[in-house]
Amino acid sequence: MSALGKVVRSGVGRRRVQTLVIGLITMMAVAASVLGGTLLVVSGAPFDDAFAQQRGAHLSVEYDAGKASAEQLAKSADAQGVSAAAGPYRTATVSPRLDSGMPEWPMTVAGRDNPGKGVDGLTLTDGRWPTDPGEIVLSADASLFPALRMRLTFPGLPGDPQLKVVGVARSVTQTADAWVVPAQMAALTTPGNGGYQMLYRFTDADTAAQIAAGRKAVTANLPPGTAVGEQSWLTVKKTAERDTALYVPFLIAFGVLGLVMSVLIVGNVVASAVGTGTRRIGILKAVGFTPAQVVRAYVGQALIPAAVGTALGVLAGRLLAVPVLAETEQVYGSSTLSIAPWVDLTVIAGVLALVTVTAWASAWRAGRLRTVDALAVGRTASAGRGRWAVRLAGRLPLPRPVALGLARPFARPARALVMGPAVLSGTVAVTFTVGMGASLGEVTKARAHDAADVTVAAPLPEIGPAGPVPDERPAADPAKIAAAIEANSGTGKYYSAGTARATVSGVAGTTAVTAFTGDASWGGYTMVSGRWFDQPGEAVVPTGFLAATGTEIGDTVTLNGLGEPVTVRIVGEVLDPRYDGMQVFTDAANLTAAHADLTDISHHIAVKSGTDVGGYVAALNKNLAPLDVTAMAGGPDRGSDMVVTLNTLSALLTLMLVAVAALGVLGGVLLDTRERVREIGVHKALGMTPRQTITMVLTSVVLTGLAAGAVAVPLGVSLHGWVLPAMGDSAGLHLPDSVIAVYDLAQLLPLTLGGLLIATLGALLPAGWAARAKTATALRTE
Amino acid sequence: MQPGEAVAILGPSGSGKSTLLNLIAGLDRPDTGTVTVHGVRVDGLGEAGAALYRRSKIGMVCQFFNLLDDLTVADNVVLPARLAGMARREADRRAAELLENLGIDRHARAYPGRLSGGERQRVAVARALMNRPPLLLADEPTGALATVAGQEVSRLLAELNADGQTIVVVTHDLALARSCTNRTVKIADGRIIEDIGARAVAWETGAAQAAR
């Protein structure tokens, strides 16, 4: 090994704290960057690839078959801006029943001769395309589990048609839930039901405005009201990318924090390494090292742990990305997502370049030091900066070690200034994570709608080897349950909720319709805008529904597949991320005329003030026993894997940032105590006890910690105020103030002290070392 | 100075002894005047040039040893030779020979922190001699050592000089100057005030002792 190699190796091996700190911070920065970069890449790639391959439809429009003929609709393909079109295809909303007799959710069926090529070319993932009536291809994305040779019956249709599943296909823009040959459509369409579907590709379709312009163009020559529903490819894309996109703003925040800390702490640690090694540099130069060799040696000393940290960081980033990618893979079915190697390479090159530049800058300065000055480090008196602070602190009614410690940052202002941002970044991360935890808690609460004190839930279905089995038991009469609740003493207010499935024209898939009996506005539903429904024919919907259907508050929407079409007016936007937001909340009375078959009926009760909930539940259960249902305390528990993952990930990243911030402080204080070891020896010789020594070293970081904490908390709150709405946008949610404004004074004050805590944590070890140093040894130290 | 001479620089604290040594070693630059060593104008060298000059012309021993604590004794000694481009095997052989001659070969794999002051100074001497420098500089080489260890180092320097090594020793220890040098230069306030031979030093020391 060369002389340079020996020096580098010994520098890395024998200076473990510096090596560990550099390794850890690079690992953290790389892990966050690999995770963030990977998610950024994969969030768009699978959809874009599939969309290009299938020539997905930029816009699919559902037309009322009674208002325009197929010929009229076909001419819409000639509208300005349309580059290709397919259709018109006959469509119908049907409710199938399986071989087992189990009723299924309604679905949209389209009649097509073939999978298509020019627009929305379907990919057959299994089986074949239907060639005759009596055959059907199911969408891989439909709610009905697609299995070949399965038979579907349609009892609601004349002649009870029966279809055999012959294939499974995927439409990237999800234009329908199933496809049959056009000749089959007549048997699936009842009078007053059904329509036509046209699929369009436009020359310009990158923005919502361009899509809206395209829609205007294709419907311009059709009678008003012909278009009854539409779906933009931008909406489908956003939904498809939602799971991964949700993480992106959050990871960008942590990535930027990590990067800032990397720059600061790598700089600090390398500068510390060079600072503590100044005498060593002097010796190296005295022995014959050139300045360039000194620089190379110290860059090498920083790069070796950084390279190890980078390798571990790539590994950690990939491991963290696995669960998130797995979720995305599920969205795209069989497609396999992998981490792009160029992301790894870019991150590795970027971080190592950063370390190299930082180390080079610090070492270059040290390398240019006069050898005689470098050798004299530790033997010459300090410049005497900050003596005024010592004098001033000495006048305060404070113990001497505290006064000496408090004055220390003024003797080494540059070091305190470098240490400050590390503490600041750590405190910003803690503040942000506390806020995010609170915000996600609010989202979870809004999602659970669990304000009830007592819930009488619908009985769970029995699960057999092949899944849920038909429930032969007679369903409990909701009216009898309501009567039992009413009769139970202590009942304050209550409502019941039941679920039905419906379709909305122009949007593939089903919408969950929750119908309430009684006032449910107190049940934990968080309004984003508008108001809760209180008039017949009104409904509230989540943000996702508004986006998918292109509606807004005040619009009406028709729900199909409920027996009879039901039209409701949207009066409010509610926060609920379940089912991608495809939900409608309305009064059960609005569905009465449609004879909707409500399932999963639950009852939610708020007890009177002062009522013992346990006693209330016991008494109610006695009354409910004959009805075969059970009451339980609390609302429905609807935890979210996504929330748990986000909370875990943020806690993990924050812990890493705090640890790295503390290590940054440790590096700075270590350098300081080493420099002052003779001074500490003098103090000890004069009678300073180990406890007082610890106090002196710890108080030397108090001002830095307090100042950093005071600045960090507003920064953390601002970061939270930026990231949370961005995450909401990614998830297709508008977040109300109750979710974003989560900080209160009682939280902010302890958070401000977080900076002090991090600084103290970092200073503990060097303080202990200083206290344990033998006085004689300290006095002899050069 | 002539080759083979051993010169002691004597003087009170602050007289400029160490500064003179630093100027000769190329560790520092004079504000005025020139420094010429073995035909090389040291004062005109840049940092890199001074490093190359030290590798080839100078061996240096300091009061506080200036050993690299994170390298073993053997690695410390080998370092100047490896920097100068000597083959590894040859450098190892030369280091082993020096360590054996100086009686510290058993510590070859130890780190300097584990050695006594005298042993550390022997390591420093071994490292200084590694490249067979024409000039060995010693700055208060016994200043941090106990009496016995100081005498050992003094004897070592005398033996080296006897073998032809040119030596400059900065010290305020008259006994050291007497035992290992044959010429003494006294300086005060940065100027030479006296330049005498070794016998004169011995006489001076004896007279001083008699006066007490």
ipTM of this predicted structure: 0.71
Q: How far is A137 from A144, CA to CA, in rounded Å?
A: 12
Residue from A10, A287, A369, A380 whose CB has the most chain B CBs within 10 Å, to mutate: A287
Query: Beta strand pairing status for A566-574 and A538-542?
Result: parallel
Q: Is residue A563 one of the residues assigned to a domain?
A: yes
Q: What whole-number distance in Å separates Cα of residue A780 and Cα of residue A677?
A: 9
The predicted structure's pLDDT at residue A576 = 81
- Domain with A121, as residue range(s), is 68-222
The parts of chain A modelled with pLDDT lower than 50 are: 331-335, 378-381, 460-471, 473, 638, 782
Q: How far apart are CA A702 and CA A755, in angstroms?
A: 9
pLDDT bin (cut points 50, 70, 90) of residue B117 is: confident
A488 and A626 part of one domain: yes
Report the pLDDT value the prediction gives residue A258, as an integer from 0 to 100. Answer: 67
Fold of B6-211: Rossmann fold (3.40.50)
CB A154 within 8 A of CB A186: no
Q: What are the tokens at A273?
A: 């390494």
DSSP-derived secondary structure letter, A269: H
User: Token digits for A674?
Assistant: 């080493």
- Which uninterrupted H or E stretch holds A202? strand A195-202
A275 close to A369: Cβ distance less than 8 angstroms: no
Do the Cβ atoms of A6 and B127 come within 8 Å?
A: no
What is the rounded CA–CA span in Å between residue A618 and residue A603? 16
Angle between helices A3-14 and B73-83 (to 10 degrees): 140
Q: Which of residues 65-84 of B touch A (CB under 8 A)?
A: 66-71, 75, 78-80, 82-84
Q: Scan residues 250-309 of A and list those with Cβ closer than 8 Å to B.
A: 280, 282-293
Cα end-to-end distance, chain A, whole Å: 31
pLDDT of A540: 93
Closest by CA position to A523, among listed A513, A510, A533: A533
Residue B14's contacts (CB-CB under 8 Å, 6 or more residues apart) are: none
Asked if residue A230 is part of any domain, the answer here is no
Q: For chain B, give the mean pLDDT.
A: 85
Nearest by Cα to A108 from A13, A198, A176: A176
**Domain closes at, from A157, A188, A222:** A222
Q: Tell me what pLDDT residue A192 has.
A: 67
Q: Which of B47, B120, B131 to mutate to test the interface with A (most CBs of A within 10 A)?
A: B47
Tokens for A778, please give them.
């300290």
**Nearest CA-CA distance, residue A279 and chain B, Å:** 9
Whether A575 and A610 map to the same domain: the answer is yes
CA distance B80 to chain A (A): 6
**Spacing of C-alpha A280 from chain mean position:** 48
Tens of pLDDT, residue by residue over A618-637, are 888 888 777 777 788 776 55
Is A250 within a domain? yes
The pLDDT, as a whole number, for residue A243 is: 57
Residue pLDDT, tens place only, B55-74: 889 998 888 788 887 788 99
Residue A532: CA count within 13 A, CB half-sphere: 12
Helix (H, G, I), strand (E, B) or coil at A367: helix
- Which one of A7, A288, A368 has the shortest CB-CB distance to B84? A288
A595 lies in the same domain as A609: yes
* Closest chain B CA to residue A374: B27
Amino acid, single-letter form, for residue A138: L
* Cβ-nearest to B47 among A2, A13, A290: A290
Non-local CB neighbours of A608 within 8 Å, separated by 6+ positions:
A490, A491, A492
Separation of alpha carbons A589 and A537, rounded Å: 9
A556 and A629 share one domain: yes
Q: Is residue A13 within 8 angstroms of chain B, CB to CB?
A: yes
| Closest-approach residue (CA) in chain A for B129 | A287
- Give yes or no: residues A191 and A202 share one domain: yes
Calpha distance A289→A374 (Å, rounded): 13
Write out chain B residues lying below 8 Å of A289, CB-based.
51, 83
Quick one: average pLDDT of B50-54?
A: 86
Q: For tokens 């990305």, what's the residue?
A: A321
Go through A338-365 and write b for each residue having 16 or more CB atoms within 10 A of its CB, e for each that does not.
ebeeebbeebbebbbebbbebbbebbbe
Q: Which residues of A touch B80 (CB under 8 A)?
A: 287-288
A363, A380, A397 - which closes a domain: A380
Same domain flag for A211 and A297: no
Domain match, A597 and A725 both: no
Same domain, A773 and A664: yes
Residue B2's pLDDT is: 87
Report CB contact under 8 Å: B50, A370: no
Phi, psi of A380 (to 5 degrees): -105, 155
Q: Touching check for B47 and chain A: CB below 8 Å?
A: yes
Residue A722: phi and psi, rounded to 5, are -90, -45
Q: Domain end: A187, A222, A257, which one?
A: A222
In this predicted structure, what is the pLDDT of residue A333?
A: 41
CA distances from B185 to A11, B30, B165, B204 (A): 40, 19, 18, 13
Do A286 and B127 make contact, defined as CB atoms within 8 angstroms?
A: no
**Is A633 in the same domain as A653?**
no
A229 is a domain residue: no
Give the pLDDT score at A468: 42
Domain map of chain B by residue range?
Answer: 6-211
The size of the A-B interface in CB pairs under 8 A is: 75
**Domains held by chain A: number:** 4
A464 exposure class (CB count in 10 Å sphere: 0-12, 13-18, 19+): exposed
**Cβ <8 Å between B27 and A286:** yes
What is d(CA A283, CA A299) in angstroms, rounded to the nearest whole number? Answer: 18
Which pLDDT belongs to residue B212?
47
Nearest CB partner across the interface for A286, out of B47, B52, B54:
B54
Q: Which of residues 102-141 of B touch A (CB under 8 A)?
A: 127
Across A593-741, the runs of DSSP E, i.e. the strands, are 599-607, 631-633
pLDDT over 90 percentage in chain A: 5
Separation between Cα atoms, residue A424 and residue A567, nearest integer Å: 55
**CATH number of the CATH domain containing A631:** 2.40.40.20
Residues of B with Cβ-Cβ distance to A12 under 8 angstroms: none
Query: Distances in Å between the alpha carbon of A48 and those of A55, A63, A321, A765?
Result: 10, 27, 20, 52
CA distance A702 to A699: 5
